[in-house]
Amino acid sequence: MTPPNPGPPAHPDYLPAIHVREAGPTVRRAPLAELSARLTPRDRWLLHALRENQTLTGPQIARIAFGHSRLANKRLAILTNSLRVIDRFRPLRTTGSAPEHYVLGAHGAQVLAAEADITIKQLGYHRSRALGIAHSPRLNHTVGVGEVYSHLAAASRSDIGAASDGGLVAWWSELTCYHLYGDLTRPDAFGCWQAPDPRGGVRSVEFFLEYDTGSESLQKVIGKLDGYARLAQVTGVQTPVLFWLQSPNRERNLHRALALDPPAVPVATATPAVCERTTLAGPVWELAARRTNRRLHLIELSAYCTGAGHTEADATGARTGRLFAPPSPLPPGHSRTAAAGLRHG
């Protein structure tokens, strides 16, 4: 779950991060004319995805945008070393080695600023802030949320996902959720999954994600559901809250507690242990405080959604007062046909 919130973002398009001293030479002005000829639509999408999600690891980017790590690593090296539109760091681990973590780079910020016809200063980009997440106590949590996102995106890529499972058609980061719902609740992410309906047409399920690191008491975790109940009351939209937990034991304890005090909103849980042989869109989600004899596919949670939904209703709000709307969860050319009819937030 999210550590104590450090307060509102210092800039509408960036969450607070610990500043670090910039390493290396001063960044020169990016050759925008050259970049315009060398950046692909997928590259430009990645710049927006890194701005939105703060950081993504190499394996996460490979799952979301490439499908193959070798191709991803080759392109990421060009974007980092030659074009300098992204930066990278590798956090220290006591055992083993961490993957490369990527953030928006100075030249990438120039590209985004040019798209919006503003300066980098107006964009709110600072290299030290972007790289500061390397030292942030929130890093593991941020990367964990990115891990859930990347596996959902991988499950929805047209070349590897089962057609009946559908695809991810919206993903709003903690940043966007704060912008939209911060006065009521503070989700770690919001998503919308869409799949073909056997009776014809498509089904959609929206969900809020709470990524639990195990660092907080279960009572504090459960207390966060009060905010979701207030949001549902205000909007008239019932949206399942998905808890991603680190161990089956913590999952069992959470279910026991929720059985004694049933939540006002639908709650479902999953752990890495139940996802070893299937995707996060598969039958891995266990409903809390409700009578079910099996874990549900993600799309089956649509039965517990009520109201108009957030994806359409809040799309304008996600843009209001911000330079960029949240990017599509998948790069250009990788969205599922089933999802084509739903507008992204």
What CATH number is attached to the domain comprising 77?
1.10.10.10
CB burial readout 259-289, b (16+ within 10 A) else e = eeeebebbbbbbbeebeeeebbbbebbbbbe
Residues of the chain with pLDDT > 90: what percent?
Answer: 70
Residue 12 — pLDDT band, cuts 50, 70, 90?
very low
Domain end: 135, 155, 178, which one?
135
Other Cβ atoms closer than 10 A to 34: 11
* Statement to judge: residues 64 and 145 lie in one domain: no
**Residue 214 lies inside a defined structural domain of this protein:** yes
How much is the pTM?
Answer: 0.86
Q: Which residues on neighbouring strands pair with residue 14, listed in sequence order?
A: 11
**Residue 1 lies inside a defined structural domain of this protein:** no
Report d(CA 89, CA 112) in Å as an integer. 21
> How high is the pLDDT of residue 152?
96
**Residue 3 lies inside a defined structural domain of this protein:** no
> How high is the pLDDT of residue 168?
95
* Statement to judge: residues 181 and 325 lie in one domain: yes
**Residue 296 lies inside a defined structural domain of this protein:** yes
**Residue 22 lies inside a defined structural domain of this protein:** no
Does position 204 have pLDDT exceeding 60, yes or no?
yes
* Statement to judge: residues 166 and 290 lie in one domain: yes
Does position 191 have pLDDT exceeding 60, yes or no?
yes
**Residue 219 lies inside a defined structural domain of this protein:** yes
Does position 254 have pLDDT exceeding 70, yes or no?
yes
The average confidence (pLDDT) of the chain is 86
CA atoms within 13 A on the CB side of 66: 18
The mean pLDDT value for 20-36 works out to: 57
**Residue pLDDT, tens place only, 259-304:** 999 999 999 999 999 999 899 999 999 999 987 889 999 999 999 9
**Residue 24 lies inside a defined structural domain of this protein:** no
Domain end: 85, 110, 135, which one?
135
Report d(CA 61, CA 46) in Å as an integer. 8
* Statement to judge: residues 130 and 170 lie in one domain: no
* Statement to judge: residues 195 and 241 lie in one domain: yes
* Statement to judge: residues 120 and 233 lie in one domain: no
**Residue 78 or residue 306, greater confidence:** 78
**Residue 104 lies inside a defined structural domain of this protein:** yes
- Helix (H) / strand (E) element for 181: namely helix 174-181
Its domain, for residue 240, covers 139-339
* Statement to judge: residues 130 and 143 lie in one domain: no
| Number of structural domains found in the chain | 2
> How high is the pLDDT of residue 327?
94
* Statement to judge: residues 173 and 295 lie in one domain: yes
* Statement to judge: residues 124 and 219 lie in one domain: no
